[in-house]
Structure 1
Amino acid sequence: MSQPALLDSQLWLLTAMTACKGLSHGLALAARSLGVDENIVSAPPRGDRLDRIGIYHHGYWQRLLECLRADYPMLLKLLGPSLFDLFARGYIASRPSRSPSLHDLGAGFAAFLAASQPDGDQSSCRLPVELASLERAYVEASRAMGVETMEQAPLDEWLSLLAAADPFAGLRVPASVRLLETTLPVHEYWQALRREDAEPPQPEARHCMLALARTQWRVQIHALDPWQYQLLRAMRDGGSVSDALCRSADADEAGRQRAQLLLWLPAAQQLGLLCHVAGA
């Protein structure tokens, strides 16, 4: 058999080592698509060609599984290694990454878990899906551009901001902030999983509005009041801040709401939820 061109050899190895149903399936796919079999590979001194090719196939899948395990450590702890790897392999096979960065590999894992649930009542399946959503948000918050290198506005600029007609001018939500709504207190369950060796009790349903933010290179999870969540979401998405806030017809109540809001703004900066760059 004549030696195939370099590109055909590369495509053959890529097809063989990335096939989701095992090495034999990958070799069959490569043979059908490129007309080349395993004899393209030199026989090793010991063992056979399949052993040599299998090293690449096994290494490829193990590396991708290791990336997902690293991004979803508490989901791995909840499901156990066997069940986690079953879902992870199915995810990688059905939604192969198109990004050159392995950081993007697990971006759709939570959506894959949700789509994998059986029809009907899915309340019992919400925990792994929402835990995966939280862990993905945590990973994204840790890798995005944060506020650590920004020159933050001093306190006197914040005081002038509070007195301005539009206190939101110049404010923005940092790229490292992630907002998440859940039907379970999954952040509390996640923290319990991190602390304990044994699996904590299943959490009871409770609507939660969460923000993940990074300060001093550490990601923290904050439970927000509805008005705080709606405000941050409106500022992040370019929506109307006024529409996002609850307005009261009563002048005294409206004044109290405004005072509560304005007092929260500097605290939100300290938590990494908002930033007001000096001179902006």
Structure 2
Amino acid sequence: MRLTDWQLAFEQHLLSETPVASSDFAATLLGGPTLDVETGLAIYHNAYLSRLQDVLRHDFGAIRYWLGDDEFALLSEAYVRRHPSAHYSLRWLGERFAAFILEHLVAEQSAPLAELARLEWAFTLAFDAPEGRLLMLDDMALLPAEEWPGLQVNLAPSVQQLLCRFNTLAIWRSSKDKSSFPGSEVLDPAHICVVWRHQNVCRYRSLEPFEACALAGMVTTGWDFSELCAELAVTYGEGAPLQAVTWLKQWIQDGLLQRGAP
């Protein structure tokens, strides 16, 4: 057997649902005085699955908190069987976990669980994102008055946005605090949660609807500052510029923004 064929056979054994190796593959190996081939291969098989489940337990601790150890073990094993690790870094193992939950579980359970999985994955993405060149309050202080109307901004690379239709943040916080499970509830209205990294710490907060629309207008639609003020004038009237500056200052202090192209 060529080395590449043997490696593929070993991979097939690790990815199979049973720890019992095929007789052809087992015949290529020699046992030792204290460990036979079948037992050794079963140990490798089970250890590989266990390692992948450890990664998912770490990345989706709130899901594990909700389901409990036994149900999470079953869910994570089913996920690994459906989506084996295909990247050299285990950091990407849980990329499709939320989508898998929607496919694998009944709708009334899968929707809030998948939203929680998306929130936990957002923290992973935020933590690993590139730094970017954040917009600072000092930059704004130096901005000439004539450039304010045309000011455009983009989200910092670490910022993740999530539409929450359930009390996902409350469930996530309870898992971190090890407090009583609050139970899943539908939010009315839904809200936008932003997750980002600032000064090497992952942060999060919910946005009120008007603030969420204002931020989306600037970073998605491409409003400049004058357009932001014009849009806010519909709701805030003469107070629109003050509200626009207040939110802009808050976004900059939070570390959400970088300068956009003029």
Fold equivalence (TM over 0.5):
yes
Find out whether 1:228 has 2:211 as its counterpart: yes
Find out whether 1:143 has 2:143 as its counterpart: no
Of residues 99, 114, 125 in structure 2, which corresponds to 1:111? 99
Q: What's 2:118 paired with?
A: 133
235 and 71 in structure 1: CA distance in 2 versus 1, 3 angstrom threshold: farther
Number of equivalenced pairs: 258
Find out whether 1:189 has 2:171 as its counterpart: yes
On the 8 A contact 2:115/2:164 being kept in 1, the answer is yes
Matches within 5 A, 1:229-248: 229-233=212-216, 235-237=218-220, 239-241=221-223, 247=231
1:135-155 Cα shifts (integer Å, max 9, x gaps):
1111111111235xx475453
Share of identical aligned residues, percent?
A: 23
Residue identity matched to 1:191: R
Please identify which structure carries the higher strand content: 2
Find out whether 1:42 has 2:42 as its counterpart: no
Of residues 151, 160, 166 in structure 2, which corresponds to 1:167? 151
On the 8 A contact 2:63/2:117 being kept in 1, the answer is yes
On the 8 A contact 1:227/1:246 being kept in 2, the answer is no
Structure 1 unaligned segments of length 5 or more: list them: none
96 and 244 in structure 1: CA distance in 2 versus 1, 3 angstrom threshold: farther
Find out whether 1:256 has 2:239 as its counterpart: yes
Residue identity matched to 1:165: P
* Structural RMSD (CA): 2.9
TM-score (norm 2): 0.85
1:30-72 Cα shifts (integer Å, max 9, x gaps):
x6xxxx3311110221242111112221121111111111101
Matches within 5 A, 1:60-75: 60-75=48-63
Report which stretch shifted further, 186-195 or 71-80: 186-195
Q: Distance in 1 between matches of 2:247 and 2:218?
A: 15
96 and 233 in structure 1: CA distance in 2 versus 1, 3 angstrom threshold: farther
On the 8 A contact 1:153/1:276 being kept in 2, the answer is no
Using CA pairs under 8 Å that are at least 6 residues apart, name the structure with larger relative contact order, 1 or 2.
2
128 and 154 in structure 1: CA distance in 2 versus 1, 3 angstrom threshold: closer
104 and 270 in structure 1: CA distance in 2 versus 1, 3 angstrom threshold: same
180 and 151 in structure 1: CA distance in 2 versus 1, 3 angstrom threshold: closer
Residue identity matched to 1:193: S
| Structure 1 residue 197: Cα displacement | 4.1
Q: Distance in 2 between matches of 1:125 and 1:156?
A: 45
Structure 2 unaligned segments of length 5 or more: list them: none
Matched residue SS, 2:166: coil
Residue identity matched to 2:112: L
Q: What's 1:211 paired with?
A: 194
